[in-house]
Structure formats: C-alpha cells, structure tokens
Structure 1
Amino acid sequence: FPLQWALDGWFGRTLPQVYGFRPYLTASLVGLLALAGFSLPYLVNATATPPMQVLRSAGNRRSWLRGLLISGSAIVAVFVVLVILMQSSILAIATLALVLVCALLLPLILTWMVKILLVSSRRRFWLRQYLLSRLQATSRGAIYVMSGFSLVLIAILMIAVVKDELLGEWEAQLPENIPNYFLINIRGQDVDGVKSFLQANQIEASTPYGLVRARLSQINSVDVDKISFSHPRASHSVTHTYNMTYADEIPDQNEIVEGQWLSANPGLAQVSVEQGMAENLDLKLGDQLTMTVGSKVLQAEITSIRSVVWENFKPNFYLLTNPGLLESFPQTWLLSALIEDHNKADLKQLLKAYPSITLLDISELMARVRAIVDKATVALQFFFLFALASATIVLLAAIQTGKHEREIESSLLRALSANTSQLYRVHVLEYTLMGVLIGFFSACFASLAGWVISVYFFKIEFQLSPEVWIYSLVAACLVLTLAGTLVSRRVYNISPMKILRT
C-alpha cells in the first residue's frame, strides 16, 4: 500500500484500489507455497541422511528419484503460484514453459562460456586458470547464481532497450513533414473555406474526408451477434464504431492485397476493408456487409482488402466506399495538416471563423504518451530492483554455503606461501569475472531481444546501443564484486592451522 500511494503520486492519478484481506491472503499463500515447494524436498532429504555421514563429512549421493522429487516439487510450486497470480492456466503454462527454457539454457550457456575461457587460459597465462577452475568446480552454485542474476539483469535491460532505443529509433525513422494536427468536426459547408484558409497561410494539408459513423450489424444477412468468430479480437471489431468514408483513388500508403479497387459507378454498393479487420472477422471478397447508420441501413459488397500503414499520421480508415454511396447520410469532415510554429498564431483566426472545428495536437499527444511510458518504465524498473535484491540475497546465501570450502582452500594456499593480499585479489577477480560473464551475456540477450522486437514487431531498423553493454557490465561487476568480497572477507583472517586441524 505504501508503494501504491507512491505510484499514485508518480503517475498523477489514483490507481485501481484493492480492498479487503485478499492481497494479504494471496501474498501469504504464495509465500507458503514457494517455501514448501523449494524447501520441503531438502528437508526430507536431510531426515533421510545417516548421522555418521554428516559426522564424517561424507558426500551425500542423492538418487535420481530424490532429484526428480526436488525438481518436480519446485515446478509444481511455481505453477500454482503463477495460476494464483495470473488467474489463467493457459498463461501460467506459457510463462512456466518460458521459465523452464531459460532455467535450462542459461546454465548451459554460462557453463559453455566458462569452459571456453578455461581452455584459452592454458595458452594465455594472464587468465588465471585457478579462477575459472573454481567456477567450473562449483558449477552447481556459481553457475545457477549467475543464471539468476542474468535473468533479472536481462529483464531490466530489455525494458531500457524497448523504451529508449526502440521508441527513439521509431521517432527518428518517421518521415519528415508528417502532419502534427488533425482538424475534425468540420461542417460540409465549411470545407472549401478551411481549405482556402490553409492554402492562403501556406499550411500543407491532406485531402478532406467526409466521415459517416456506422456500426457493423450483419455479415451476409446474418446478425454479427449470432456468428462465432475464431479470432480473439473479433469482439472488438464487432462492437467498434467505424468512421466510414469514400474515395475516388486509393489513399496514400494503402495497398490492395486482394480484389480490385472500388468502381466509380455510384449505382454499385461496394466497400474496401482493411486487412486486419478482415482477418478478425473472417471476411473475404464477395461478402455482404450491413452497416447501421443511426436509424438507416447501408449494404455493400466487399470488392477489395487493403493493407494500411497506420503510423503515417494521416487519415486512415477501416472501411472505404465508392463515391455517391454515402451522400444521403449526415457527415462531418476531417483532414490532417502540418502546422509550423510560426503558423500556430493563425489557428486562433481559423477557430474564430469556424468555431465547430476541433484541433487535435498530435505532437502534444506523443509527448504525453512518452511521459507515461517513461514513468511506467521507471516503475517497472523499480520493481525489478526488488528482484535484483532477491538475486543478491541468493548470492550471499550461496557464498555462505561454500564458506567452509573456501576457508579450506585459503588455508591450503596460505600454507603453500600465498599471502592474504594475493588471496584477496583472487577472490575479487573471481567475483569480477562472474560479473563480466553475467553482464556480457545479459547485454547480448537483451540486444538480441531488442533486435527481434524492432525488426519483426515495430518493423524498424535496430541500432545497437553501447550504453546497454556498459551499464550491464558495470552493474553486474559492482553488485557481485561488492557482495562477494564483503561476505567472504572473514575467510582471509582465519588461521590456517585452525582450519587444517579441524
């Protein structure tokens, strides 16, 4: 609740409130399930361990059945937690599958990177083979701790890549002289006057379009409410109110993918449908659409399906009809314009002469969208800092678990004439090397994900950002080096004789 209050002030509005005991019960249940799933198998294994095996410090050979029990219980616990949080079994299964893939791939990739460095260290003396052999010898602890850090760091970097790089690249690749204003609610008798005013002030404007608001009521004389659609966005397309218009020619950046363009014969009732809408509603050429305009009904045959570039900041439409079909319906007009700063003072005269016009400032809208995206991104990164803190705690626990082993190794090295300063440098370099591997791998994965998103989703060119690599390497090295050296500092102060005697 304190975080919710802080986010209310951050976004400048009240976020949806959750009352009652449900948040407390959900958090408690999730915590208990996670604790049971990850700790009970180890407790069961501890109860089955003979006392003499512990007293002799003998290794515990875990059977494959117990290993399967530990892994299976952890997976079940994660799945139950995901179902509770997401309230969707399908989404929980997909998320669990992604988590399992990452849990399997990340350790394999990091182990492969360590082995490559270990092989190369035999040829280059400055790569301390002892450091790499430690990572390989303690792969169960070190590699999995590195994998956990990598997942958290990848999530933080991907947010930064998507927000800063992709949005920046998208804005940079927008064509010059794109419209920055929409003029809407223009009355039919004012269209010529508005065009003359814009031309007199040397303001570049698009072709005016007459708009008729309509709802889709039937497809092939069957009510849309009675049709079962397969696409998940079909319900949105059915309930959407469309702004229909007419055109003599294909609008700019519209391309016919099926069929032929509308006939100029006003006696034919024809309509061109946007490709996404056609896919949502399973529409095809020759289908009859029935549209409701107020109390009137309009029927038209689909003669073409178009692809539309919605990002061009020009008037674009789902439905286009041939000229003359919409003349009997009430209309308002729309156009887009590029209004430079020195022309904005003329807008007052335009609104005074034509008070029905509404101006929509696209540049201001984009600035607001970017501000919202920036704040949401900072909020997400703030929450991921908790995950980073959790990963740090896991690192500290892993270091504490192997503390006795480090004490023995340090004692043996000191018995072989190694001094405290050398041991300290070795451990610092070990954690720094872990940070370099984590930072390098996380930056690679985040950049690859950014490339996939930019090319296949945003359809823009991806530019590799060196800042992502710098932040990733610096953050990983600092966190792991500081946490590791602070926790293991007592290893250097213990007497070798005391350890060797025990």
Structure 2
Amino acid sequence: MEARLAWRLFKRELSQGQLLLIILAITLAVMSVTGLARVSDRLQIAINGQASKFIAADRIINSPVEIDPQILVQAKELGLQQVSSMQFNSMAYANDEFQLITVRAVAQGYPLKGTIELDTGPARGLPELGSIWYETRLGGILSYPESLELGNSEFTLTREIARLPDAGFNPFASSPVVLMRIEDVAKTGIIQPGSRVTYLYQFAGDSAVLKQFENQVKPLLNNSQRWVDVQSGDSPIAEAVKRAERFLLLASLLGIALACAAIGIAAQRYCQRHFDVVAMLKTFGASRKQIRILFGLHLLLVTLLGVVFGIIAGLALDAVITSYLPESIAAYGAPLARPVLLGVATGLISAFMFSAYPLLRLLAIPPLRVLQRQLEGLQFGMWLHLLLSLAAMALLGYLYSNSIALTMTVVAGVLLLGVLLSLFGFALIRAGHSVGMKTTNPFQLALAGLRRRARQNAIQLVGFSAALVLLLTIIALRQDLLNEWQKQLPEQSPNYFLVNIAPDEAAPLNDYFAKHDVKATDIYPVIRGRLTQINGETLISSEQSRNGDPGRVGISRELNLTWRNSLPENNEIVAGEFNLDDYDVSVESEVAERLELQLGDTLTYMIDNQELTVTVKSFRAVHWETLQPNFFMIFSEKALAPFAYTSMASFHLPESKRHLIIELIQDFPTVSIIDVGAMVAQLRQIIDQVSLSLTLVLVLVLAASSLVLVAQTEAGMATRQRELAVLRTFGASGSLLRWSTGLEFALLGAIAGFMAVVVAEFTLYLLKTQVFELNVYMHWPWWALAPIAGAIIVAALGTWRCRALLQQSCSQLLKARA
C-alpha cells in the first residue's frame, strides 16, 4: 500500500512541478560529477599520451642487464606493444679521427610514441642494416665522412638526426648520438661481459592494462632496475603533468562538493514542503513506519530519476565539450564505466546522507501542525547532519581521487566555510536587529528581512559562499599553474646550448652574442668532482650499501660543479644565505634532503686528485624544468680557482637568425652546440594542451556554481512568498518590495563574498603547501572585488527568481501555495 501511495504522490507532484528543485539538484550533482569525471579523464589521458612522446612509450623498464624474458611474455599476453633497445658509449673512427659517441641500438617498432625527426622531416622506419643515422654535430666534428668504424664493423652514414623522441635533456652529456639497428650490435664486438650497457624495454597500450602490468612487474625488479613513466622525473614536463593531473582531480572534487551542496539544499526544501502532508497523514492515523516507507520510496524514485537524467546530461556535456577540443586531444578515448558509476554513487550516497537529517525532521512533525503551522518537530541534531554531510563528501572525494591530501583539504575548507558562515554570518545578520525593525525605506526593510530569516539566511550563505569559494579557488590555481609554466618556458626560452667552452673563449662568445643581438644566459664554469666525505665520514656507493657494507650513502657519480657570485635565475634560497665566503657551498634542497645535510656541515670533494673541503652555507630550490643551466652545488670562485674548467651557456635564436649557427660553428670549432628547439616546441604543445584543459574545467565549474546559486535562491521562495503577501496586505508598494528584495539579496551576496575570500585563502594555502608546491601569497584585490561581485550576482539571481512574485497582487499571493 505504501508503495502504491508513494507512486501516486510521486506522479502528482511530478505533474505539478513540485519535484523540480530536488530532481534538478540531483541531476546537477550527477551531471557535474559524470561530466567532469569523463572530461577530466579524457584530458588526463590526452596529456599523458602527448607527454609519453618524450619517452617514446607509455612505460619503460630501464636496466643495466637484460631482464627476465618472462616479463616480456607477460606484456605480450596482456596485449601490450613492446620494443627493446640498447644504449652504450663507444669510440668511433672516421677520417683519421676518433670521437666518443652514444649508440642507440633499436629494434623494429621503435618508437612506440612520437617520431624520429631527421633534417628532412619525420622519419619513416629505421636505418637499414649496415647503416647509421647520426646527430648533425657528429658530421661537423668528423668532417662529414661517408662511413665510420664502430668496433669491428664499418657503417654507412646515411641520414642526419635532428631529434630522437626519447633523447631526454642533459647538456652535460655532450657525446653525439648515433642510431642503428639492434641486429647490428653483435657484429661490432663492442658488447662484452662486464660492458656498461643500458637496456631499455618500452611498452605502450591501454592505461588499465599498463597498470595491471605495472602491479605484476614492479615487485620483480631489483634496485638497479627502474620503472619509468612520464611522471618519473626523466621527462622535462614531469612536474607539469603531475600538477595538471592534481588540478583536474581537484576540479572534479570541487564538482562533487558543489553537487553535495545542491542536493543538501534541495533535500531540505523537499522535506519542508511536506511538513503539512506528514501532519495530515498522522492526523488520519498513519503510523511512523508507514510514513517512513512512504517518503523513503518517494525519495528513492526522485533520486533514481535525477540519476538517470544526470548521467544522460553528463554524457551529453562530455560530447559537446569533446566536439570543441583540438583533434589531438579529442582522439583520445576515455573509459565510460568509471564516470557513470561515480555519477550513480554520487546521486545515491549524497541523496541519502544529505537527506537523512531533513527526513528525520519530516518524520518528527507533530499532528498538531494542522492547527499550529509554526510547529516543526525535531529542532536538534544538526551535528548529525554535519557529520553525515562531511562523511558523504569525504567518501565520494576519496573514491574519486584516491588522494587523502586533496580530499581532506576540500573537506577542511568546507568545514571552515560552514562554521564561519553559520556563526559569523548569523552574527552579522543579527546585528541589524535594531535597524531592521524600522521599515520606512528599502534598506531598512531589507535588514528586517535578513533578521526575520536569520537561520534560513545563514544556511543560504553557506550555499552562496560555497559556489564563490570554489570559483575563487579554481581561478587562482589555474592562473598560478599557468604562470608557473610560463616561467619555465617564456617566449624566448633558450633553444640552443653551448658546452665545452674554453676559458679564453668566454669573452669572444659574449662579444659575438652582443654583436648579433642574441639573448643568452650567463656563461657558467663547469668542473667535474666527486663528493667523498660528509663531516669527515667517508661515503659509500648505493651498490656497496645493497651489498651490506656499513657507512653513509653518497652520490655514486661525478657531479658538475660551478661557482657564482650571485644567485642564478630559477633558484630560490630555502634555508641559509647565498652570499658565499671563500670555502662555502650552496646545495640543491632535494639533494640536501637525500644526503641528510644540515647547514654548517662540511663536504669534501675529490677534484683532479685533490681534496677540497667546504661548509654548507645554504639550500636552494631549483626549477629544473626551465631550459637553463642548473647545478646541484654552487661554490665561491676562490674555492674552485685552482682547478681547470670548461664552461657552458644557453641562448635563444629566432628562426630568422638560424644562419648564425653555421657562423658560430666556424668561429668556435671546439665548442659543442646542442639544439633543443624541437624539445621546446614539443614542451609548448603540451603546456598549451594543459592550459586548454584548465580553461575547460574552469568553465564547467563556473556552470555548476551558477546552478548551485540558482538552487540556493529557489530554496527560500515559499517563505518569501508568504512575507510578500503580508507586506502587500499592509500596503507596501511594488517599488519598495523590489528594491528591498534586491538589497536583501545584495547584502547576502556581499557577506557571502567576504566569507568566500576568507575560506578561499585558507583553502589555497593548504592546496599550495600540501598538494601543488606553489608560492603562497594573499590575493588582496579579492577582498574588495569578491563582496562586490557576490552582491551583484546574488542580487541579480534573487531579483530574477522573485520577479514573478513581485508582479503578483495581494490576492494572487494569498491564493498560491508554497
């Protein structure tokens, strides 16, 4: 019987439009989550897909020895594409000259992602057996021979390489690269037992399958083998990709928060509309169990309808946005199951947990309300409502992001928002008590309205401010991330590096740059040295540590050291001072953390068979993503003065001046030139796509925030309708009511804007320090602009929604039902 009555009630209210608000709220919730999840998944997959071209695959196993063949069998069984390659150094001989080169020996199918760029354009295929493709500068060094000897074999030089997709970026590795077929390696006789070789096993395929493969393979790798992806730090855009993914996750989490706010508002309004219905049912003898079943089924039907509409709208939203995306992004598919399941879970979990307390209030309505309409039954238990609401938001947030830091940051911001607005907002409204009793003008009438609806307005402030907080947070983070990436790659980023600059060539080079108006960085001296002791304690290598040898682990390779009298660009002091004395050193912060260094520690280096001991004076944060010379250790000039050095620099050369490269090679034949222009172009492409992604997500959050504001405005219409009827009865004019209504909403919006800035600054502090690692600063213009914008937006929405009520006569208002 209850089910039949619930269905009849559902059909009646659906036909009368009384369910529109809650269905719209649930539809908004599911649409926001489904649409944002699918769009952000697509953008995330596209960004990673484009970024994977920097490593020529989706995943790589980097190993000093050949891996277990069973791993390759597993990859094949999972349907992954795979290709193997080798990398080693050797001496090449041509035209009576020897040259150290880096050999890349690759198998058919390389590269899995990206393309090999030749001097004539993108390559098709690989070198023929017995031939080699070579880096342009090798030809210049060896006077462009037709062939070269490598080990026991001679190879024909056929094509010039402009760039390999997975060449990486290390200006200190100055040996030219050659590309050959892996089948030709054996006949060179170079690879012998004990030879230093890097084996690269590259894989590509579906992200879910790759994750499954990773879970199977990673436990099988030893300490000398590495699992590499675009976020491993080997890619110059690793940090940009990580931050973009975190931003997309955050945007979707904020979408969930918006959805929860909309459902909470709608659920409260839904239950308020049925207070009289429950009182009537109890008067006619309905039991508490019957009423619980009746409204439980009714709410379930409403929720299911909202979920269905929300999923359809979310998928339509994704289709519309995808149609406007660049083809390079739209081509990437996104999984359908996860966004749909997340949308369903959002609708069901949030509808239940946000409706629990309003439903308890509804069930507790006494029958006497039939006679005394001010009775509302249950008036306590808000702590339960808050607990359930936060639990729902945290559960959905973690299910989506799998990130405790992101989820708890959003929950902390929401909790602060609720506390501040419930207390401080209520106090601000109550402060207008004495003025609000005088209703001789619109402003005083607006204050009176704020006071009469103090509790309801405090709740409305939460909804208005939540939307504004989310907007401010997304706008600020998007701008900060874009600014950060622009710093990494400004318009005139260096596209060439010079290495092996002799000391007597530094001044002529600077003159050459000045003469041709070429923008160049400073020339940095480079000295090779090995860190051997910390505070007098001899360091051991990682391999010795793995073998069980006691001692402190150091850095198992030579370091590139430099001196500077001033702090370089893209470096920030995080501890200590940079003004170096004669025997001080400034250490990069991550290296300092890994070596467990403290300010004042002594470091001993071995340079040219001589010991140098210096004191740690400062720690620096270095932006490695910038294409500028950067170093782990920076010394004073006096400390490194006894040692021989070469130098390096980078410069930007526009396309119109590319001819200067030939002249530069002729004037400075011993200087090695590294062209990173192709890498810069590829980096810019990735950053442009990330920027587009952030903009799209911002638009989605803007739309969702606007809908929440509309839902919040709708929630108070019934009470306002009754008050307008009373005021009309006592002779209030239409203009007075219009102005007072607009001013009341404007005051609410101004308070909401002010509180939104407070919470947004707090949330941004947590996000920047705990998640995105960005600089923290105050957004001072917000403190004036947000209250003004809040007042204008909320006043416009409120006046627009009330326009029909304000145009009705006293009799029409009294006849209409809330």
Same fold (TM over 0.5): yes
Change (3 A) 1:314 1:123: farther
Among candidates 618, 625, 632, match of residue 306 of structure 1: 618
Match of 1:231 in 2: none
Q: Where do 1:380-419 residues align within 5 Å?
A: 380-400=697-717, 403=718, 405-419=719-733
Greater relative contact order structure (CA < 8 Å, 6+ sep):
1
Alpha-carbon distance in structure 2 between the residues aligned to 1:371 and 1:127: 50
Amino acid at match of 1:398: A
Alpha-carbon distance in structure 2 between the residues aligned to 1:316 and 1:22: 42
Does the Cα contact within 8 Å between 1:157 and 1:446 map onto a contact in 2?
A: yes
Q: Where do 1:2-41 residues align within 5 Å?
A: 6=321, 9=325, 12-13=328-329, 18-19=334-335, 21-41=337-357
Q: Provide Cα deviations, 1:274-301, integer angstroms capped at 9, x if missing partner.
A: 245324542135466899xxxxx99986
Alpha-carbon distance in structure 2 between the residues aligned to 1:52 and 1:123: 34
How many residue pairs end up in the alignment?
472
Alpha-carbon distance in structure 1 between the residues aligned to 2:744 and 2:419: 24
Change (3 A) 1:113 1:50: closer
Q: Where do 1:25-424 residues align within 5 Å?
A: 25-54=341-370, 56-64=372-380, 66-89=381-404, 91-117=406-432, 119=434, 126=441, 128-161=443-476, 181=494, 183-188=496-501, 192=505, 194-195=509-510, 197-201=512-516, 203=518, 205-210=521-526, 221-222=539-540, 244-247=560-563, 257=576, 272-279=586-593, 281-284=595-598, 285-286=600-601, 303-308=615-620, 310=622, 315-320=629-634, 323=640, 333-337=647-651, 346=660, 349-350=663-664, 356-359=672-675, 371=688, 374-400=691-717, 403=718, 405-424=719-738
- When structure 1 is superposed on structure 2, of 127-136 and 31-40 the one drifting more is 127-136
- Give, in angstroms, the shift of residue 103 of structure 1: 0.9
Alpha-carbon distance in structure 2 between the residues aligned to 1:386 and 1:143: 24
- When structure 1 is superposed on structure 2, of 249-258 and 131-140 the one drifting more is 249-258
- When structure 1 is superposed on structure 2, of 489-498 and 22-31 the one drifting more is 489-498
Greater helix proportion:
1
Alpha-carbon distance in structure 1 between the residues aligned to 2:684 and 2:785: 24
Among candidates 473, 478, 483, match of residue 796 of structure 2: 478
Alpha-carbon distance in structure 2 between the residues aligned to 1:368 and 1:298: 46
Does the Cα contact within 8 Å between 2:469 and 2:757 map onto a contact in 1?
A: yes
Alpha-carbon distance in structure 2 between the residues aligned to 1:410 and 1:245: 78
Alpha-carbon distance in structure 2 between the residues aligned to 1:429 and 1:148: 18
Among candidates 775, 778, 781, match of residue 464 of structure 1: 781
Does the Cα contact within 8 Å between 2:366 and 2:376 map onto a contact in 1?
A: no
Amino acid at match of 1:418: A
Change (3 A) 1:290 1:306: same
Alpha-carbon distance in structure 1 between the residues aligned to 2:803 and 2:714: 13
Does the Cα contact within 8 Å between 2:529 and 2:558 map onto a contact in 1?
A: yes
Change (3 A) 1:58 1:308: closer
Alpha-carbon distance in structure 1 between the residues aligned to 2:778 and 2:658: 33
- Give, in angstroms, the shift of residue 384 of structure 1: 1.3
Alpha-carbon distance in structure 2 between the residues aligned to 1:239 and 1:477: 63
Secondary structure of 1:317's counterpart equals: coil
Does the Cα contact within 8 Å between 2:450 and 2:457 map onto a contact in 1?
A: yes
Secondary structure of 2:329's counterpart equals: coil
- Give, in angstroms, the shift of residue 419 of structure 1: 4.1
Alpha-carbon distance in structure 1 between the residues aligned to 2:474 and 2:558: 34
- Give, in angstroms, the shift of residue 483 of structure 1: 3.1
The alignment yields a C-alpha RMSD, in angstroms, of 5.5
Does the Cα contact within 8 Å between 1:216 and 1:290 map onto a contact in 2?
A: yes
- Give, in angstroms, the shift of residue 441 of structure 1: 4.7
Secondary structure of 2:472's counterpart equals: helix
Alpha-carbon distance in structure 1 between the residues aligned to 2:374 and 2:776: 59
Alpha-carbon distance in structure 2 between the residues aligned to 1:13 and 1:377: 13
- Give, in angstroms, the shift of residue 396 of structure 1: 4.3
Alpha-carbon distance in structure 2 between the residues aligned to 1:162 and 1:240: 39
Does the Cα contact within 8 Å between 1:41 and 1:70 map onto a contact in 2?
A: yes
Alpha-carbon distance in structure 2 between the residues aligned to 1:382 and 1:169: 21
Change (3 A) 1:286 1:20: same
Which structure 2 residue ranges, 5 or more long, are not aligned?
Answer: 1-37, 39-314, 546-553
Secondary structure of 1:246's counterpart equals: strand
Does the Cα contact within 8 Å between 1:274 and 1:305 map onto a contact in 2?
A: no
Per the normalisation by structure 2, the TM-score is 0.46
Does the Cα contact within 8 Å between 1:212 and 1:243 map onto a contact in 2?
A: yes
Secondary structure of 1:315's counterpart equals: coil
Alpha-carbon distance in structure 2 between the residues aligned to 1:411 and 1:302: 84
Q: Provide Cα deviations, 1:78-109, integer angstroms capped at 9, x if missing partner.
A: 23222212324455344323321111112333
Change (3 A) 1:423 1:100: same
Does the Cα contact within 8 Å between 2:465 and 2:756 map onto a contact in 1?
A: yes
- Give, in angstroms, the shift of residue 36 of structure 1: 0.9
Amino acid at match of 1:150: S
Q: Provide Cα deviations, 1:424-455, integer angstroms capped at 9, x if missing partner.
A: 44334433443344345546766898899999
- When structure 1 is superposed on structure 2, of 149-158 and 280-289 the one drifting more is 280-289
Q: Provide Cα deviations, 1:85-139, integer angstroms capped at 9, x if missing partner.
A: 2324455344323321111112333333334455566799656322222222222
Alpha-carbon distance in structure 2 between the residues aligned to 1:14 and 1:339: 33
Change (3 A) 1:183 1:462: farther
Amino acid at match of 2:798: L
Secondary structure of 1:80's counterpart equals: helix
Amino acid at match of 1:411: A
- Give, in angstroms, the shift of residue 463 of structure 1: 6.6
Secondary structure of 1:181's counterpart equals: coil
- Give, in angstroms, the shift of residue 34 of structure 1: 0.7
Q: Provide Cα deviations, 1:335-392, integer angstroms capped at 9, x if missing partner.
A: 1457799977745643676695235579989987885565344223212124314413
Amino acid at match of 2:794: A
- Give, in angstroms, the shift of residue 62 of structure 1: 1.9
Per the normalisation by structure 1, the TM-score is 0.70
Alpha-carbon distance in structure 1 between the residues aligned to 2:737 and 2:358: 33
- When structure 1 is superposed on structure 2, of 239-248 and 445-454 the one drifting more is 445-454
Secondary structure of 1:184's counterpart equals: strand
Does the Cα contact within 8 Å between 1:246 and 1:326 map onto a contact in 2?
A: no
Does the Cα contact within 8 Å between 2:527 and 2:560 map onto a contact in 1?
A: yes
Between the aligned residues of both structures, percent identity stands at 17
Q: Provide Cα deviations, 1:174-211, integer angstroms capped at 9, x if missing partner.
A: 9xxx9853642534569827455325436565123337
